Structure 1
Amino acid sequence: MPQKIILDVDTGIDDSLAILYLLASDDAEIIGIAATAGNVDGAQVAANTLAMLDLGRAPEIEVALGAAAPLAVPLRTTEDTHGPQGLGYAELPVSARTLSSRSAAELWVDLVRAHPGEVTGLCTGPLTNLALALRIEPELPRLLNRLVIMGGAFNHPGNTTPTNEWNIHVDPEAAKEVFDAFSAAPQDRRPLVCALDITESIEMLPDHLAALAQAAHSAPIEQVGAGDPPEFRSAASNPIIRYLTDAVRFYFDFHYQYDLGYLAHMHDPFAAAVALDPASATTRPATVDVELAGTITRATTVADWAGMWGREPNADIVIGTNPAAFFERLVTRVGALARRLYPEQS
């Protein structure tokens, strides 16, 4: 049976790949999507999410708009990383789909209550909506089947400050509320945390885009590179490949600008893969907390691996995986989806 997934996203480039990965996976059933302000503002996140569902020719999936701002601080967005609309160089038509009449927090609570023990929550953005949902229904840690979080940095430098990962940085109060609440989760339902320690090893390269085009039977097979001007746009025959090329190329350019190589860290689709197949990752239990008072370390995730705090573990942190196997699954699944949905362009 497919896993029921609630997806909580701040749809930028890698979130959009996570959406496509789930739509391409027979073992996933997205039952609702919460749009969280983060990479771009909440309204743009919602618009991007609806447009991605159109591109993926998805059935009707409820998309609910979340809080406009974090719990305690002003919203910070990152158009420099994800582009002015959050999807890199890509531009998608405005969707005719409509947003839910309920809030993202209400969507979380109602869907999990309706399917106790059956739902996997996947958060690839700030944890604002989930924190608000926990205030409505404190039993969520026991009602969910599992929670997967892309966020944090432990034995690894941050990507926003020297110690901070972006999603936690945007709303550290929400992250702390979530980790504190999930201290009540049973051992087999502790959150799976995909932090920068592992997600920065998930390096997408131009060859992966070419492999996706080949898998989709899209033409021409384009080989993008650091010399491509910003105005370059893909001529791929398949709309999904065309979108991916234009979106991910912006992400390549961003990483290249910061001397990380002509590549892109695919944090969010990796978290989606872990949500569907936890056995694809090696994990280690720890007690996770979030620093809120530090002058230069605010929003840092701290893991007590050795039990020094005398508190039970509240997370299973991913410490190992096989990036090549992940990309093989991504190319196979998304390539097949693109080929199936757009056979006339394949």
Structure 2
Amino acid sequence: MTTATVPVVLDCDTGIDDTLALLYLLQHPAAEVVAVLSTAGNVPVDVVAANNLGWLDYCGHAEIEVFPGAEGPLVADLMTCEDTHGPHGIGYAELPAANRQVSERTASDAWIELTRDRPGELVGLVIGPLTNLALAIRKDPDLPQRLHRLVIMGGTFNYPGNTTPTSEWNIAVDPEAAHEVFTAFGIDGAPQPIICSLPLTEQVAFTPDHLVRLAEAAGSVPVERPSAADDHGLRSATSNSTVRLLTDALRFYFEFHHDHDEGYLAHVHDPFAAAVALDPGIVRTQPAVVDVELAGSLTRGTTVADTRGFWGRQPNALIATETDVPAFFDDLLSRLAELARRIG
């Protein structure tokens, strides 16, 4: 991993795996979390913002501003997925409420103002729908040129979707926003976004064994190993509060995947994208022209990649295709265990 400090603007719809991404970044010595932007997606935006405030305060980072974002997509009605992440977005975890409020500025304004204050420095990390960034680019079309790097968790290419047969959740929630963002990058000096999509991120599967490793590294007792044989909703009784919260959150995610015949595991797309934001060298990428189907009656929200020049356009994105999954989990669990030991 790189040792240089990477200033990250995080735009998220928190979310269980968004939570892991946020905690990972807060604990990582190479990360400077500049701001946390909230958008509707996994749960409504007010719940997302409350989760972001709660996690930041819990981790001792009340100095990081949380911005309220879009309440819904540019065109479509909002979809949320409480069945996947729980009614409050963090599974069975019960997070203490924060003692502060969100910013008076909006997330789209934050994108504009932060990139104007630090042109060429900031790494954007979007792990929810792209609505906030699209709104910001509508207001300020030069914004993409001021980002140093953009990493997006979203899309699927030549691989089944997780929302429709052909579409991934973050893109399916707001296809118009994704189309506008992809169109604005990779041209006129704006960076090519690195896209972490389902063919890769579904290889990043968090299992009960990872929770065991986390508890052991944090010194939390008893060490618990959630199982598909457990009753739904069983709560953790381990001694470390951080491990307890993460176990309660991830148990819900395990149950969801198991109930949908994917195994007793959790695809943790978002912390992987966070790791890529800090160090793109952990992935191999393929250049492509990426766009989004907006009109198809069966395929709306599907990401399409032209890697062979059929459209006669220059590549506007880099699709992450390969990584060392065990090495990523070594890094993730190390950071989460450090956080757990620090907080207790």
Per the normalisation by structure 1, the TM-score is 0.97
| Secondary structure of residue in 1 paired with 2:341 | helix
Runs of 4+ in 1 over 4 A off after TM superposition: none
Name the aligned partner's letter for residue 156 of structure 1: Y
Quote the residue 1:150 is aligned against. Answer: 153
Deviation at 1:183, TM superposition (A): 3.4
Q: Mapping of 1:42-81 within 5 angstroms?
A: 42-81=45-84
* CA distances 1:131-157 after superposition (whole Å, capped 9, x unpaired): 001112211221000000000000210
Q: Mapping of 1:89-108 within 5 angstroms?
A: 89-108=92-111
| Secondary structure of residue in 1 paired with 2:186 | helix
Q: Mapping of 1:168-183 within 5 angstroms?
A: 168-183=171-186
- Does residue 127 of structure 1 match 2:130? yes
State how far apart, in whole Å, the 1-side matches of 2:327 and 2:188 are: 30
State how far apart, in whole Å, the 2-side matches of 1:141 and 1:7 are: 15
Quote the residue 1:318 is aligned against. Answer: 320
State how far apart, in whole Å, the 2-side matches of 1:211 and 1:97 are: 34
Quote the residue 1:275 is aligned against. Answer: 277
Deviation at 1:101, TM superposition (A): 0.7
Name the aligned partner's letter for residue 63 of structure 1: V
Percent identity (aligned): 57
| Secondary structure of residue in 2 paired with 1:7 | strand
- Does residue 190 of structure 1 match 2:192? yes
* CA distances 1:271-301 after superposition (whole Å, capped 9, x unpaired): 0001011000110000000000111001100
Quote the residue 2:44 is aligned against. Answer: 41
Name the aligned partner's letter for residue 108 of structure 1: W
Deviation at 1:334, TM superposition (A): 1.1
State how far apart, in whole Å, the 1-side matches of 2:60 and 2:250 are: 20
Which range moves more in the overlay, 36-45 or 134-143? 134-143
Contact 1:55–1:239 (8 Å) recurs in 2: no
Question: What root-mean-square deviation, in Å, do the aligned CA atoms of Structure 1 and Structure 2 show?
Answer: 1.0
Deviation at 1:32, TM superposition (A): 0.7
* CA distances 1:199-221 after superposition (whole Å, capped 9, x unpaired): 00001110101111111111111
- Does residue 306 of structure 1 match 2:308? yes
Quote the residue 1:136 is aligned against. Answer: 139
Quote the residue 2:338 is aligned against. Answer: 336
Contact 1:55–1:240 (8 Å) recurs in 2: no
Please list every run of 5 or more consecutive structure 2 residues that lacks an aligned counterpart in the other structure: none
Quote the residue 1:228 is aligned against. Answer: 230
Deviation at 1:186, TM superposition (A): 3.5
The count of corresponding residues between Structure 1 and Structure 2 is 341
- Does residue 327 of structure 1 match 2:314? no
State how far apart, in whole Å, the 1-side matches of 2:91 and 2:223 are: 20
Deviation at 1:58, TM superposition (A): 1.8
Match of 1:84 among 83, 87, 103: 87
Please list every run of 5 or more consecutive structure 1 residues that lacks an aligned counterpart in the other structure: none
| Secondary structure of residue in 1 paired with 2:318 | strand
Quote the residue 1:239 is aligned against. Answer: 241
State how far apart, in whole Å, the 1-side matches of 2:198 and 2:188 are: 23
State how far apart, in whole Å, the 2-side matches of 1:186 and 1:229 are: 54
Per the normalisation by structure 2, the TM-score is 0.97
Deviation at 1:52, TM superposition (A): 1.1
Deviation at 1:59, TM superposition (A): 4.1
